[in-house]
């Protein structure tokens, strides 16, 4: 696959395909993810954008209006993968019959609720069948649109409305599902994990690779939510940086089955540096809960070492 030479200024000067006027919250990671993924589309290329029900959908699509400049289709929570794979298949049929002359890219977005949980079967089927499409998960770690309920992407010990911290609970007892590993097990051409770091180069480069790799591709983007994570909106970039520097959210790719680590911290920071800035973890810093931080750190270290082994194999 040919790659264009990266030019950050040129990329940022491209027109936004997610137009102003949507109703997402200030400090929302979802819109940052969408805007930058779509900027990876080459000028002049057309796209069909899919979107599972969730924060992003209800805030960017108020019938009959949409904030997207490209063709847009709203799916239910559970079938974003199936919907876009159907559109992609219909496109090829119409193209073969001569009813369509233009080419299109197919990109669908879903939050972790509609991707890790409710839409996992649909996503898995689309990837396994080999449709030429990109599924992008903007992972904000809970069902934010419906009241901050836990999902399988919610981190260990996070306080949510269905796993409230208190006398009877330490928050969510399970560690988050590693969906990127699950997608890589589908043996698809491209899987990547990224977030908002520095000048967004990592996010852009991986988005371009996903879009222009023939066949199915999956992007998992750490996209903080100020309401659910309980942080000051201006801190979003710092929180993403700490997620990477503590190895809670490593940056990696799986290209045709080959695991590639994109960034290894020179000095791995303690996980508490990432957690302390989020109100959903404030109970972990109360006296007597030191063992919870130790358990979370141990699990994070374990996953990091497993990733290093995959990338060194």
Of 6-15, 43-52, 71-80, 189-198, the one with minimum mean pLDDT is 6-15
Distance CA 115, CA 279 (A): 25
**Residue 310 CA: distances (Å) to CA of 138, 166, 204, 268:** 24, 38, 24, 19
Angle between helices 80-96 and 120-129 (to 10 degrees): 30
Among the listed residues 158, 155, 174, the one whose alpha carbon sits nearest the alpha carbon of residue 230: 158
Q: Is residue 119 part of a domain?
A: yes
Q: Is residue 1 part of a domain?
A: no
pLDDT tens digits, one per residue of 39-66:
999 999 999 999 999 999 999 998 888 9
Distance CA 170, CA 283 (A): 8
**Residue 169 CA: distances (Å) to CA of 48, 151, 246:** 44, 16, 25
- Per-residue pLDDT band for 165 (boundaries 50, 70, 90) equals very high
Domain span at residue 144 reads: 8-312
Q: Is residue 95 part of a domain?
A: yes
Q: Is residue 224 part of a domain?
A: yes
Among the listed residues 222, 217, 197, the one whose alpha carbon sits nearest the alpha carbon of residue 207: 217
| Residues whose CB is less than 8 angstroms from the CB of residue 84 and which lie 6 or more positions away in sequence, other chains included | 48, 50, 73, 75, 106, 107, 108, 126, 131, 133, 135
What pLDDT, on a 0 to 100 scale, did the predictor assign at position 1? Answer: 42
Region 224-234 average pLDDT? 95
**Residue 68 CA: distances (Å) to CA of 48, 51, 74:** 10, 11, 11
Region 207-229 average pLDDT? 97
87 in Cβ contact with 50 (< 8 Å): yes
Distance CA 301, CA 295 (A): 10
pLDDT tens digits, one per residue of 87-118:
999 999 999 999 999 999 999 999 999 999 99
**Residue 254 CA: distances (Å) to CA of 15, 61, 115, 234:** 30, 33, 19, 32
Q: Is residue 2 part of a domain?
A: no
What pLDDT, on a 0 to 100 scale, did the predictor assign at position 313? Answer: 63
Q: Is residue 3 part of a domain?
A: no
- Report the domain count for the chain: 1
Angle between helices 29-39 and 236-245 (to 10 degrees): 80
**For residue 86, pLDDT beyond 70:** yes
When the pLDDT of each residue in the chain is averaged and rounded to a whole number, the result is: 95
Distance CA 193, CA 182 (A): 12
Region 151-161 average pLDDT? 98
Region 263-281 average pLDDT? 97
- Per-residue pLDDT band for 4 (boundaries 50, 70, 90) equals low
Give the side-chain half-sphere CA count within 13 A for 173: 3
Q: Is residue 274 part of a domain?
A: yes
pLDDT tens digits, one per residue of 128-142:
999 999 999 999 999
CATH code: domain of residue 126 = 3.40.50.970
Q: Is residue 177 part of a domain?
A: yes
């Amino acid at each position: 696959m040919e790659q264009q030479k990266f030019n950050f200024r040129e990329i940022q000067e491209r027109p936004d395909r997610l137009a102003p006027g949507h109703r997402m919250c200030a400090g929302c990671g979802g819109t940052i993810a969408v805007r930058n993924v779509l900027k990876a589309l080459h000028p002049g290329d057309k796209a069909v954008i899919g979107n599972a029900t969730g924060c992003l959908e209800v805030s960017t699509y108020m019938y009959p209006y949409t904030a997207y400049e490209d063709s847009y289709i709203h799916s239910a929570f559970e079938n974003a993968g199936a919907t876009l794979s159907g559109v992609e298949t219909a496109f090829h049929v119409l193209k073969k019959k001569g009813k369509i002359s233009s080419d299109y890219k197919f990109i669908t977005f879903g939050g972790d609720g509609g991707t890790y949980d409710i839409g996992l079967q649909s996503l898995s089927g689309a990837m396994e069948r080999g449709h030429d499409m990109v599924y992008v998960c903007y992972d904000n770690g809970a069902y934010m649109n419906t009241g901050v309920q836990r999902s399988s992407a919610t981190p260990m010990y996070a306080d949510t409305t269905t796993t409230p911290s208190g006398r009877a609970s330490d928050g969510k007892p399970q560690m988050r599902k590693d969906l990127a590993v699950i997608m890589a097990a589908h043996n698809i051409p491209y899987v990547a994990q990224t977030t908002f770091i520095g000048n967004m180069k990592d996010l852009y480069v991986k988005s371009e690779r996903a879009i222009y790799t023939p066949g199915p591709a999956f992007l998992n983007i750490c996209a903080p939510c100020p309401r659910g994570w309980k942080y000051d909106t201006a801190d979003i970039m710092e929180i993403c940086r700490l997620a990477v520097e503590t190895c809670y959210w490593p940056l990696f790719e799986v290209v045709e089955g080959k695991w590639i680590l994109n960034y290894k911290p020179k000095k791995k920071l303690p996980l508490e540096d990432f957690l302390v800035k989020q109100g959903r973890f404030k109970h972990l810093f109360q006296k007597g809960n030191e063992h919870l931080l130790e358990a979370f750190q141990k699990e994070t270290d374990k996953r990091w070492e497993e990733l290093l082994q995959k990338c060194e194999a």
